[in-house]
Chain A
């Protein structure tokens, strides 16, 4: 199949009993404007990092809402904070704050850090 341009995907089951909503809650309470995102994709189209590598702010939104922190940490690392997304956003979402909050939240709510 890969020869035809399709990828084979691994199992992607999400166990909602394991869902940790603290990061999502933290981000939305500190940057409520993120709630009104309509997933238009303007941010992704203009994105500087997205121009260099596979990076998608809508995907970040999805991972955040699903509580997939591991994938989120890998993705969020790519953002260069240049601010283009924020300027094209039709809903005026402060995307850079969302990015910074997620970055911080990942550290704060990391189970390893919480033990210390």
Chain B
């Protein structure tokens, strides 16, 4: 019987981890709603499973998304994940060949070189031994990079790294030891029995010249096994729990399971899938305001440790940049909103004073939104455009209307928001309108996603104006203007509208290139989602963003969100105009002041010229 006492730490660790994962996964899956469970059951034998397997390989083992972020970082993760996977897989085959059985004991393959001290019996066995050496070398380069990353993160494209807790440190320490110890154990064995290959054999021969290998070999195997056991036992309590969780998450996600408005076991799967790699830290703009502890990775960590505070939870712009960069594709914004809903559940407002107001029968409704009322230039420009196009429209919130409900939702006041939504919804439906034009992306998102408006098409004003231009309902003249377009978070990442505003701008002006565009665009810093941030901190974020726009040398920053416009216009002397205001300029080819643009502090705003 092949067995050595030193296999015990490894076996205990494996048994513990196996039982832990079995219990946790069962608990998570049983905790899903009935519909979700049915969804899994019905999808098991479909192509969704194949898609999930493909994603598990490309993201869980090969880490394609990290490669895209930085090749060195990607290589480090891939060598550890894919390399280790292959080491186990090929090691098992090697032992199957050596023992001539299809089910060799687990420890026989993990400690193969100790149990099989003879030279490889066949050519295949020889190739397998060499492959094992190659794989170990592959992993060791990754471990080497991991050591190096602690000293120099920049090479890996990372400015910041996550602060670790005790459990993480122990597991990390064990992980760093496992492969070097395996290398020493295998080369010491090779030094004595000459059963190594191209890496372990020369190393073994070298060590045998000055080390008492006979005495050292057993303790080294013990150390290797202990490091493995330590890692496996600490895995559930550390960030490395992401390894099993991520695989489960990929499958559940592919089976169509989505986050709900309350924290459930699927939320938990996502929380545990976070590897705390820290990639989200670099993408977070709160860094420029000196806020260092509220980023998504820390929120997930706090959720796991049950110590999330309001100060951390609500200090986030919900701009979605972290979600965009997350290599595990965790729905970070939705997770945070779920937490906000739970945190504020006890004090939702009732808005008993809202009355079902009269509706005006019309074809098109224009809803400016609260923020647009603070930037009246946009409102005026929209009225000019709608009048010029001879549209039969109703300016729904010209005088009195409740808010759209989105700011409440961002603050987690989901129930309260429903009251405003219902009030507005009845008014919209009562008007018989077919189109609802909105000037504010914050309103746009909630109208589109949370209002039940059958037969009403919700359009952001950039989409609507583009339609008007295309159908020649309004006439525009090309100008000499060069504009830099700013993607608002709620419109771009939030609602996936990038094309229409650009096409509209290109129809009468020249578009300047920006460093961070579209999915990677920066938040203006004014986001209503952040309840905790101070005004001074918002200003710091805004100034850095404005810097990028100044560099383009554009005549105008073109915004598509009244809040972005308001935020930017408080900053440096750069001319800022909403897309609607710019359209009016192009329509009339008149000076910006007449077009209803708020002239910013810049003395000389360029006059558009006829071409």
Contact = CB atoms under 8 A, between A and B. Distances in A.
A51 interface: yes
Interface string A26-44: 0000100100000000000
B62 interface: no
A33 B538 CA distance: 14
B467 to A, nearest CB: 28
Contact of B407 (A52, A80, A106): A80
Interface in A31-63: 33, 46, 48-49, 51-53
Nearest to A97: B531
A94 B532 contact: yes
Nearest to A76: B349
A19 to B, nearest CB: 23
B20 to A, nearest CB: 35
A24 interface: no
Contacts, number: 85
B370 interface: yes
Given A94-B534, A100-B344, A103-B344, A79 B371 contact: no
A82 B535 contact: no
B534 A84 contact: no
A49 B534 CA distance: 23
B374 A52 contact: no
Contacts of A92: 534-536
Contact of B347 (A52, A53, A103): A103
Name the interface size band of chain A.
20 to 34
Interface string A71-93: 00000111111111001100011
A107 to B, nearest CB: 5
A97 B532 contact: yes
Contact of B403 (A53, A82, A96, A97): A82
A62 B134 CA distance: 74
Interface residues of B, number: 34
A79 B416 CA distance: 10
A22 interface: no
Contact of B346 (A78, A96, A107): A107
B420 A104 contact: no
B370 A83 contact: yes
Contacts of A104: 310, 344, 346-347
Contacts of A51: 399-400
B277 to A, nearest CB: 31
Given A92-B534, A96-B531, A80 B374 contact: no
B370 A48 contact: yes
A81 B533 CA distance: 15
A97 B528 CA distance: 11
B411 interface: yes
Contacts of B400: 51-52
B426 to A, nearest CB: 15
A96 B403 CA distance: 14
Contacts of B407: 80-83, 96
B533 A94 contact: yes
B314 interface: yes
Contact of A53 (B350, B353, B373, B534): B353
Contacts of B346: 104, 107
A106 B566 CA distance: 33
A100 B408 CA distance: 11
Given A83-B528, A104-B310, A88 B374 contact: yes
A33 B533 CA distance: 11
B344 A80 contact: no
Contacts of A46: 373-374
A48 B443 CA distance: 14
B536 A106 contact: no
Interface string B511-536: 00000000000000010100111111
A79 B420 CA distance: 11
Interface of B: 310-311, 314, 344, 346-347, 349-354, 370-371, 373-374, 399-400, 402-403, 407-408, 411, 413, 420, 526, 528, 531-536, 566
21 contacts: A48-B370, A49-B402, A51-B399, A52-B354, A52-B400, A77-B350, A78-B351, A80-B349, A80-B351, A80-B403, A81-B407, A82-B403, A82-B528, A84-B373, A87-B371, A87-B526, A92-B534, A94-B532, A94-B534, A97-B532, A104-B347
The 7 lowest CB-CB distance pairs between A and B, nearest first, are A92-B535, A80-B403, A82-B403, A82-B370, A103-B347, A53-B353, A83-B528
